[in-house]
Structure 1
Amino acid sequence: MFKTKINPKRIITVGGTLFCAWGIGYLMQSNAQQAAPSTSELSAPPVEVDPLVRNEGAPLKLTDITLTSAILPPTMSLPGPAFFPDAPIVRAKANPDRPINVLPEEEVAPTFACKTTLTAEPRAAAMVALTVDAPCFAGARFTLHHNGMMFTDVTDENGRRNLTVPALTEEAVYMVTFSPDDGAIARVSVGTLEYYDRVVVQWAGQSGLQIHAFEFDADYESAGHVWADDTRELSVAARGQGGFIARYGAPGIENPYMAEVYTFPSGTSRRQGEVRLSLEAEVTTANCGHDIEAQSIQLGQNGRLQVRDLMLAMPDCSAEGDFLVLKNVLNDLKIASN
């Protein structure tokens, strides 16, 4: 079955037509009753006729139905477009003393400086004072590089670290790196380097390596034996009285680069003779049964650096607590009288 949408206007028009047809039928019936004979002359009672039905019960056909719509009178018309007044438009100014076409200056938003810097200043005994300043790397791991020497350290809670490190060249260049994309470089002249001999041994991890220096026929644990348990102060070398040892790196972090440096004032020494150098490794739980890779860098009074790669096969763990002594790995120092 199809459904047809009925137009309200059509319903009103058709209803009106049906009402008119019903009225016409009523009038015709009244006229017929007036013209008809009286009831006494007729034997059949009158029949009521449905005004909407023709004789014989056929439906009444509706014709000439006209649909209507709202039509505006000829005198009425739709409103036309509105026009602005003829008076010119005046541009308003928020500030009469300042032209509106001049924009205010943009204020620079505050930023947090994250630049990493490294400063270097020369110190006694051909040493250099370094200051690492990295505000964005508080408590962070970094690596310091200088002419082949390298070690790992950590900044404090403010991203700073102060170090006193050896120079290996008179025109010394130092570089600190936190990542491949972040670091800093510092340069400094160290004119006193020619008066010192210097030996560097460096490695990764917990190798147990130690430099032992025996100055002027000294023996173990005597006054002239310089090593990790008796490193001496920098001032001893600055006065020409003997050498000292400094260790670099942060052993508490994972797989750090470590370095140990022995410095002797060959050019200002008050004594003459020989300084014997040896490299020793204590057998520990961390290194027993393993191969240790290391490197030595030795600086003589001629200013030339001698670099040597080292491979040490450590004994098994049954020898824990013993020392592996490596002779002839480092060159002994010949000290002339000054």
Structure 2
Amino acid sequence: MARLTSYLLGGATLVCALGTGYVMQYGFALPQQGGKAPEPRLEISEIKQTSSAVVLPMIPVDRPPEAQLPEPPVVVKAAAEVDLPQADLPEAPAETGFSCDMTMTATPTAGALVDVELIAPCRASERVTIHHQGMMFTEVIQPDGSLSVTVPALAEQAVFIASFASGEGTLASTDVSSLPFYDRVVVQWKGEAGLQLHAREFDAGYFTDGHIWAAHAGNLTAAAKGEGGFLTRMGRADTPEALAAEVYSFPAGTAKRGGEILLSVEAEVTAGNCETQVEAQTLEIRDGGDLRTRDLTLQMPSCEVLGDFLVLKNLVEDMTIAAR
């Protein structure tokens, strides 16, 4: 009985094996029924990389797994490995400050005049008073911090001082060897005094060639030839309460003609000085002598006579010139 059971189990196993093989080859359709043939497999012949990413090489099949991975890329630090040239950068200046130092020079010129140059970088457009042997006048520094004026010398060893309202100032000096050849008369005042200095050379009439005043000041050419004098006006009259001066110079030491020069100070009655008291001063140097000064106080008339002139003949002495 046991042997019969073993035969039956073996036969059943054989039938199942045959059936499974048939189905694997033909499917569930019978050969004689014309069933559909299995579709062919898709074969890959070539692969082209189209990505921009880095592609690792294909792993050869004959290499062991631990040797099939690519070595990691070497990262090169160019900045650390390349020697760049050393650039020479400009150095900042050691000192960049702005100097406020003032300088002043005095240079003698023809006619016993002196060119005064003042440099005051931090005093642009400020008022400044120039002092020389008692003569004083107001000037204004240029916007660039400079000032240039020509001053009639009143001493052979001439000293010039520039002073500002703050109390600061500077000075310069020079020798004026030609001064003994000139006689000089100065009239100076403050504000709107309306004063004028007039010189009528060799008894010349008013408003003729020999009449030297602000409107007809003469020239250095005539003075150099010993033929006539000239007038120099100092100070800025367009600034409030300014100090001003007028200086008449005559080459007495080289004059080609002898005679009298009539000197006078005149005061015009204006809206700025009428009914006020005007103060002024005269300075004189003659024949190479010492400087002489004289103060003047004048009571101006009523404002009803605007435009009139007061003639002060005895304030300064006339000049007597001897021909050389």
Both structures adopt the same fold (TM-score exceeding 0.5): yes
Equivalent residue, structure 2, for 1:254: 240
Equivalent residue, structure 2, for 1:223: 209
Query: For 2:135, which of 142, 146, 149 is the aligned residue?
Result: 149
**Structure 2 residue matching 1:318: 3-state secondary structure:** helix
Equivalent residue, structure 2, for 1:327: 313
Distance 1:170 1:194 in 2: 8
Distance 1:325 1:222 in 2: 18
User: 1:99-146, CA deviations, whole angstroms, 9 ceiling, x for partnerless residues?
Assistant: xxxxxxx97432211111110100111000011111101111100000
**Do the aligned residues in 2 keep the contact of 1:246 with 1:262 (CA within 8 Å)?**
yes
Equivalent residue, structure 2, for 1:29: none
Distance 2:143 2:119 in 1: 11
User: 1:35-82, CA deviations, whole angstroms, 9 ceiling, x for partnerless residues?
Assistant: xxxxxxxxxxxxxxxxxxxxxxxxxxxxxxxxxxxxxxxxxxxxxxxx
Q: Which runs of 4+ in 1 moved over 6 A?
A: none
Distance of aligned partners of 1:335 and 1:288 in 2 relative to their CA distance in 1, 3 Å threshold: same
**Do the aligned residues in 2 keep the contact of 1:214 with 1:275 (CA within 8 Å)?**
yes
**Structure 1 residue matching 2:178: 3-state secondary structure:** helix
Distance 2:216 2:196 in 1: 12
User: 1:169-219, CA deviations, whole angstroms, 9 ceiling, x for partnerless residues?
Assistant: 000000011235421110100000000000111000011100010100111
Q: Is 1:293 the equivalent of 2:293? A: no
Question: Unaligned 5+ residue runs, structure 2?
Answer: 1-91
Return the offset for 1:284. Answer: 0.5
**Do the aligned residues in 2 keep the contact of 1:210 with 1:260 (CA within 8 Å)?**
yes
Q: What TM-score results when the alignment is normalised by the length of structure 2?
A: 0.70
Q: What TM-score results when the alignment is normalised by the length of structure 1?
A: 0.67
**Structure 2 residue matching 1:191: 3-state secondary structure:** coil
**Do the aligned residues in 2 keep the contact of 1:116 with 1:182 (CA within 8 Å)?**
no
User: 1:280-313, CA deviations, whole angstroms, 9 ceiling, x for partnerless residues?
Assistant: 0011000111110000001111321110000011
Distance 1:207 1:234 in 2: 28
Q: Is 1:241 the equivalent of 2:227? A: yes
**Do the aligned residues in 2 keep the contact of 1:169 with 1:303 (CA within 8 Å)?**
no
Q: Is 1:195 the equivalent of 2:167? A: no
Equivalent residue, structure 1, for 2:52: none
Equivalent residue, structure 1, for 2:323: 337
Distance 2:314 2:170 in 1: 37
Return the offset for 1:154. Answer: 0.3
Which letter maps to 2:219? E
Equivalent residue, structure 2, for 1:209: 195
Map 1:1-338 → 2, pairs under 5 A: 108-338=94-324
Aligned residues: 233
Equivalent residue, structure 2, for 1:13: none
Which letter maps to 1:326? L
Return the offset for 1:254. Answer: 1.2
**Structure 1 residue matching 2:304: 3-state secondary structure:** helix
**Structure 2 residue matching 1:194: 3-state secondary structure:** helix
**Structure 1 residue matching 2:209: 3-state secondary structure:** coil
**Structure 2 residue matching 1:198: 3-state secondary structure:** strand
- Report which stretch shifted further, 281-290 or 176-185: 176-185
